[in-house]
Amino acid sequence: MLTDNSVDSIYSYFITGSLKGTKGKLLYKKKASIRQLDGIEFSYQAEISGQTLIAYNQAVFLNDTLLNYVILSPEPMKKDDKKIRSFFDSFKLKISADDIRQDGSSALAYESGRVLAKIIFVVILLLIGGGIVFLIRKLVYRKRKKEWSEDDFK
């Protein structure tokens, strides 16, 4: 169900860590669309503080941050229970779609790439401009050299 791309790997490691940390048993997992983002929904049963609880989780990875929200219940609930859906749907992202990255890259690498691209663009423009100035000066020098004789420099 989950592929080996970096975001799916993050989800897989998160689920594995959640299960190992609580010695829980996975009940289900599925991909979920969370505010048009690729997320994961999963549930597991674990004994926490001497009580058997069922954890219903939704997680989404964006901008190098894993957001996870969870409901802990002492009794099983259906995946599509109104209370679960209402809770999961109550979260709102206050970030523009243009500012969301879900590719698993680090913010530093992303910003470094943007800055480096701008620097390379400016350097290319300067090289082209410098090349044009060099060619013009070379042509003007040749033209002047042809117009003047050696007697002009004595």
pLDDT tens per residue across span 79-97:
778 888 888 888 877 777 7
pLDDT value for 57: 92
Q: What is the mean pLDDT of residues 131-153?
A: 75
pLDDT value for 1: 42
| Between residues 103 and 9, the one the model is more confident about | 9
**Residue 40 pLDDT > 80:** yes
pLDDT value for 41: 92
Can you tell me the distance from the alpha carbon of 100 to that of 93, in angstroms, rounded to the nearest whole number?
10
- 3 state SS of 144: helix
Given a contact cutoff of 8 angstroms between Cβ atoms, the answer to whether 69 and 86 are in contact is no
Alpha carbon distances (Å) from 101 to 66, 86, 92, 95, 97: 12, 26, 17, 11, 9
pLDDT value for 104: 55
